Amino acid sequence: MSIQSLKATLPRDALASLVVFLVALPLCMGIAIASGMPPAKGLITGIVGGLVVGWLAGAPLQVSGPAAGLTVLVFELVQRHGVAMLGPILLLAGALQLMAGRLRLGCWFRVTAPAVVYGMLAGIGVLIVLSQIHVMLDATPRASGLDNLGAFPTAVGEALSLSGSGREAALLGLLTIAVMWSWDRFAPRRLKLLPGALIGVGLATLAGLWFGLEVRRVEVPANLGEAIDWLRPDDLLALTDPHLLVAAVAVAFIASAETLLSAAAVDRMHQGPRADFDRELSAQGVGNMLCGVLGALPMTGVIVRSSANVQAGAATRLSAMLHAVWLLAAVVLLGALLERIPVASLAGVLVYTGLKLVDLKALRHLGRYGRMAILIYLATALAIVTTDLLTGVLLGFALTLVQLAWRASRLDISLRRDGRDVELQLDGAATFLKVPQLAQTLETLPRDARLHVPLERLGYIDHACMELLEEWQRANRASGGRLIIEPRDLERRVEGQGSQGVGMATAGGN
């Protein structure tokens, strides 16, 4: 970038970076807490996502950092394997992303059925809400969604008791949610760039200080270096555990899918250079490997911060990099202020975010593509809530393959008769699976029929079905039976047949 162009875009990028910083600050800390990690871990990931990934990114206006979509998986990993094992998992996951980017596999991560993606986000949203409601009550969330749901009455009862801080914390969390909801709907257009999350957390913090509420507050180390847990060589030996290998693959896949879907959405928001998905995937891999070495949270490209970046007028990748500088400055200079923030308020931000992930508009949109799409959405979300994230996503993929196989094998067969002329109407795909059904239909025809087979509604016909039609003609030729294929350019539709076989079938009708 030349000095002249830098001078032209710097004011816009600097303003946009401040907006993104204000959005990212509460989210980085809230996502870390929701993941069962200290808030500083989320800030480290946000800084790495801005400075390193922002510099290397293939989607220059996309902002990377800790994402709500991975909180459930990270929380499960921390509870099951411990904080120390998150580093090796991230190192391997990042290496897989880097390898996929170098092999130019970025486009394949986007080959995911929308029903599975929306169902995954909805399931994650429900789990975030179930876990963060406990945090809003100054209680400890359980390891699974069903456990959180079952423990909810007890947590509410303890919060309503006179002992403890649950009631005051819940009020601060609800205040944060109410402010965010009101800001999204009623904020003046000129002030829309200010993030509702920051305003909600700010008001909740002021209210907590004004009334002297004794609630849990954010803990930020005096030195950010204290929050870094360097990866130890001995920890890498744990990757021989198959469970950790599966976890790394799951992190790599989900982080890549969320990143590239976000990059595609960002491309639709601006008219600048289009995203290079392979380069973006490689950059994310480098970022997650570095987060693994530092013992931080995993990262993805995040749509909330990226959309704020675009709407604020960002012109280059400098905006994403500068927002990381402001995050670092906030930790160094405003650590005492950050420690005044109630944890319940950050949980309120995540509850509001989780509710927005359960997008009912997406469900109505999927309804236009049939009931099977809605079933995949609901099954994926329900499986994630009742089992785990990986199982839910795999179930969604399995149902998608079942739907694809069913559609590929569907064939509607009907007859229209007019004297000796019979029209065999085929709609769908005529594969070998439909040979018995097609044979039964042909047996009902008179032996002297002139059989017309139009192909305009037939997407595919294989060799087995074509042979069956030709066999019917050979068996009934002496009785006057004829086969007439329409149209004549059948070669492009028939698998495994040359023009000679097609010509024979068509000539019978001449």
The torsion angle over the Cα atoms of residues 152, 158, 161 and 163, rounded to 10 degrees, is -150
pLDDT band at 268 (very low <50, low <70, confident <90, very high): confident
Asked if 388 and 417 sit in the same domain, the reply is no
Asked if 365 and 422 sit in the same domain, the reply is no
Mean pLDDT value across residues 57-86: 91
Asked if 434 and 390 sit in the same domain, the reply is no
> Which domain-ending residue is among 385, 402, 419?
402
The torsion angle over the Cα atoms of residues 367, 369, 373 and 377, rounded to 10 degrees, is -50
pLDDT value of position 318: 94
Q: Residue 11 and residue 2: Cα distance in Å, rounded? A: 15
pLDDT value of position 186: 92
pLDDT of residue 102 exceeding 90, the answer is yes
Asked if 449 and 335 sit in the same domain, the reply is no
Asked if 27 and 173 sit in the same domain, the reply is yes
The CB density around residue 150, as the number of other CB atoms within 10 Å, is 12
Helix (H, G, I), strand (E, B) or coil at 111: coil
Residue position matching structure tokens 């699974």: 144
Instruction: State how far the alpha carbon of 220 is from the alpha carbons of 40, 41, 211, 447, in Å.
Output: 6, 10, 23, 87
Strands 421-430 and 458-461: parallel
pLDDT value of position 381: 93
Q: Residue 198 and residue 175: Cα distance in Å, rounded? A: 12
Asked if 300 and 155 sit in the same domain, the reply is yes
pLDDT band at 162 (very low <50, low <70, confident <90, very high): low
Asked if 397 and 417 sit in the same domain, the reply is no
> Which domain-ending residue is among 355, 373, 402?
402
Q: Residue 283 and residue 290: Cα distance in Å, rounded? A: 11
Q: Residue 73 and residue 112: Cα distance in Å, rounded? A: 19
Say what percent of the chain tops pLDDT 90.
Answer: 52
For residue 293, the enclosing domain spans: 3-402
> Which domain-ending residue is among 346, 369, 402?
402
Q: Using the 8-state DSSP alphabet, how is residue 428 labeled?
A: E
Strands of 245-372, DSSP E: 300-302
Whether the Cβ atoms of residue 218 and residue 189 lie closer than 8 Å to each other: no
Least confident of 108-112, 234-238, 410-414: 108-112
Q: Residue 168 and residue 163: Cα distance in Å, rounded? A: 11
Q: Using the 8-state DSSP alphabet, how is residue 189 labeled?
A: G
Asked if 91 and 161 sit in the same domain, the reply is yes
Whether the Cβ atoms of residue 165 and residue 216 lie closer than 8 Å to each other: yes
Least confident of 30-34, 186-190, 286-290, 396-400: 186-190
The CB density around residue 378, as the number of other CB atoms within 10 Å, is 16
User: Over the range 158-197, which residues count as b (16 or more CB within 10 Å of their CB) and which as e?
Assistant: ebeeeebbbbbbbbbbbbbbebbeebeeeeeeeeebebbb
Report the CATH number at residue 463.
3.30.750.24
Burial of 409 (0-12, 13-18, 19+ CB in 10 A): middle
Mean pLDDT value across residues 27-50: 94
Mean pLDDT value across residues 370-396: 90
Number of domains in the chain: 2
Asked if 326 and 421 sit in the same domain, the reply is no
Q: What angle do CA 64, 68, 72 make, to 5 degrees?
A: 130
Q: Smallest Cα–Cα separation from 381: which of 121, 136, 105?
A: 121
Q: Residue 251 and residue 288: Cα distance in Å, rounded? A: 10
Q: Residue 195 and residue 23: Cα distance in Å, rounded? A: 6
Strands 421-430 and 450-454: parallel
Asked if 310 and 435 sit in the same domain, the reply is no
pTM: 0.77
Q: Using the 8-state DSSP alphabet, how is residue 494 labeled?
A: B
Mean pLDDT value across residues 174-181: 96
pLDDT digits over 460-507, tens only? 888 898 999 999 999 999 999 999 988 644 444 444 444 333 333 333
CB neighbour list of residue 84: distance below 8 Å, 6 or more residues apart: 229, 232, 235, 295
Q: At what angle do helices 3-34 and 39-48 cross, to 10 degrees?
A: 150
Whether the Cβ atoms of residue 314 and residue 12 lie closer than 8 Å to each other: yes
Sign (positive or negative) of CA dihedral 186, 192, 198, 199 = negative
Residue position matching structure tokens 């909810």: 152
Q: Smallest Cα–Cα separation from 298: which of 211, 210, 367, 389?
A: 389
Whether the Cβ atoms of residue 128 and residue 68 lie closer than 8 Å to each other: yes
pLDDT of residue 429 exceeding 50, the answer is yes
Asked if 162 and 249 sit in the same domain, the reply is yes
Asked if 386 and 462 sit in the same domain, the reply is no
Q: Residue 181 and residue 444: Cα distance in Å, rounded? A: 65
Whether the Cβ atoms of residue 277 and residue 232 lie closer than 8 Å to each other: no
pLDDT band at 39 (very low <50, low <70, confident <90, very high): very high
Q: Residue 340 and residue 212: Cα distance in Å, rounded? A: 11
Q: Smallest Cα–Cα separation from 73: which of 308, 251, 322?
A: 251
The CB density around residue 24, as the number of other CB atoms within 10 Å, is 35
pLDDT value of position 160: 74
pLDDT digits over 208-233, tens only? 999 999 999 998 887 888 889 999 98
Mean pLDDT value across residues 283-308: 94
